[in-house]
Structure 1
């Protein structure tokens, strides 16, 4: 299993709780430095203080960050660079559960209700927020030299198995996670020869504060929760000298796998898909082949 080098720096969104908190703890235990970027500034500051007290030195800083606000994330990245000089790993992890985007379907009452604007908060946080994180990560990596592990930097996004599978109760969550998966696969190809790796970790439901605790009760009873230890192991596989790139590392209870891309009718579509990349790079003034 690859490990980080001593003193390597990780920027983690949503790091004050859940997967982000577990990830930050793991990295500090490996002699890493972490930036706790979280909307809950009180919890983030308390967590950073706990890590620093335990280690007896400054191994963590916190930054109040609304990931849907570009300026917040830019300030957090600048704070990280000012404090730790570089950023080796960026974990685009912050996310929320489904927010109902439309009222429940009810033809009997529909005509008595106004047509409403959809609530896109799930997409704003789970997709747009992560893309802001990714944009800052990739531009930061571009501006720094190769680090001790042999890379300019590594970007790891938290996705979900719902990036591959539909959910009738979570259309926007599924849409946002599918967007993350295909962004990761596409961007990983672009950055593959640039000393940058991009991967996604895609668990099924993990017992975290992402939703009210009552939601998890039947999953605990039926042993349908994904193992946090296995989730962290998949993150670990992408770190250090690992050359894993463009992969969706997936977890469901005790099972782990690399989820393959959809190849249905791929050979038929590939010539046009490849040519549009070539033509767009020319249009964009990008020398990438």
Structure 2
């Protein structure tokens, strides 16, 4: 970690975040010059990404620790698929006419929570002066290849990640003209706490686990590489270390012209 960089780790599990932060600070102090005083370069805050007020509180605490400026924001928190409705077979057995409210917590965390994080970052970065490269700040979000492909048993997770990718590809292009880079990292299967260990053992036996180093390389590209904005970086077990996924082409000239007109019509909402 560069000595000039200060970071904030935000997580719903504050105890785990604090333990991680303490380890980072100790590592930094150990690598500092002999006789140098201990320097706290990392702090931890608690956040529930599904709650706007919690995100605001965490962001304000981060601003205070970072001296009033935030150059990079990485929105990587999320949850896996959950049963959004009772199983289809169970629904078929119901005859009383009652209806169950769907569980949309995956949308709340993975899509709405991500948009809230980006909105806070954009508001702060617009207040900041651009750097030598004309950037006011860079934002990278965690999406997924489920935002590109069809996974029938992950309908709500897939919908959320499609939403994230659509948001990044559109709003990222708009922000690029205002000194803010917004991009997404879209990995295949990475060993995290989102699934059970036996699942990862099967995936690893098939040679399909994505090394974390590749995911880090993709985020590093979003942090200081050539990505300007609106790009989605797919990370797989055989990518080297990632591939930038292009958007779908227009069906015909009418599709292109219609989208251009829609873009012009709605621009007043943003600038």
> d(CA) in 1 for partners of 2:227 and 2:87?
46
Unaligned runs of 5+ in 1: 1-27
Could you list the structure 1 runs, at least 4 aligned residues long, displaced by more than 6 angstroms after superposition. Answer: none
Q: Confirm or deny that 1:100 pairs with 2:83.
A: yes
| Larger-gyration structure (1/2) | 2
The 5-angstrom pairing of residues 10-159 of structure 1 reads 28=1, 32-56=5-29, 57-85=39-67, 86-106=69-89, 108-111=92-95, 114-147=98-131, 150-159=134-143
Unaligned runs of 5+ in 2: 30-38
**Cα 1:34/1:197, change in 2 over 3 Å:** same
Determine the structure 1 residue equivalent to 2:244: 258
Q: By how many angstroms is 1:212 displaced?
A: 2.2
2:263 to 267, 274, 277: 277
Q: By how many angstroms is 1:81 displaced?
A: 1.2
TM-score (norm 1): 0.84
Q: Secondary structure at the match of 2:264?
A: helix
**Cα 1:149/1:279, change in 2 over 3 Å:** closer
Question: Structure 1, residues 165-191: CA drift from partner, whole Å, max 9, x if none?
Answer: 011110011100000001001111211
TM-score (norm 2): 0.89
**Cα 1:224/1:78, change in 2 over 3 Å:** same
**Cα 1:170/1:241, change in 2 over 3 Å:** closer
Q: How many residues align?
A: 258
Greater shift after overlay, 228-237 or 148-157? 148-157
8 Å CA contact 1:227, 1:254 repeated in 2:
no
8 Å CA contact 1:149, 1:241 repeated in 2:
no
8 Å CA contact 2:138, 2:181 repeated in 1:
yes
Determine the structure 1 residue equivalent to 2:177: 193
